[in-house]
Amino acid sequence: MSDFKQIFPLGEKNEAFAQYFIGQSYLAPLTLDGVPSFNVTFEPGCRNNWHIHHKGGQILFCTAGTGWYQEEGKPARLLKPGDVVNIPAGVNHWHGATKDSWFAHIALSVPAEGATTEWRGPVTDEEYRKLG
């Protein structure tokens, strides 16, 4: 991590959502006028499970390292600092670090009444190894 630099705090180990991640991630809550937002940092190889944001969707602002974003049925997209991903409500997807780089993004939940996240199965090692 010595060469990994980010402007937002690393935060604490992500124990609250650890069951939905493969590998270690960290969460730092951010204050954005009442909009639920977090700096999420992934150690190399860490990724979250497939999941769906119902009603509200999510926006990712990539800030450090390199990572992956993939929607079900589509090829994975390599993410770098400055990339923005708009995830519409109802889209099954996952995101996380590449196998050899730390990765950080700001995750902003789009406010909507009754918004929920449905956590699904993990991205398997076989699926993940197929990525660059």
Domains in the chain (CATH in brackets) are 12-129 (2.60.120.10)
Q: pTM for the complete prediction?
A: 0.93
**Closest to 103 in 3D by CA, of 31, 29, 15, 1:** 1
Tens-place pLDDT, residues 54-111: 999 999 999 999 999 999 999 999 999 999 999 999 999 999 999 999 999 999 988 8
- CA 121/CA 64 separation, integer angstroms: 26
Confidence band, pLDDT 50/70/90 cuts, at residue 5: confident
Confidence of residue 1 (pLDDT cuts 50, 70, 90): low
Pick the closest to residue 64 from 94, 42, 87, 32 (CA basis).
42
Q: Coil, helix or strand for 16? A: coil
Paired sense of beta strands 116-119 and 51-54, if any: antiparallel
Helix (H) or strand (E) run with residue 47 in it: strand 47-48
Q: Does residue 129 register a pLDDT over 70?
A: yes
> Nearest to residue 55, comparing CAs of 25, 29, 90, 28?
90
pLDDT of amino acid 32: 75
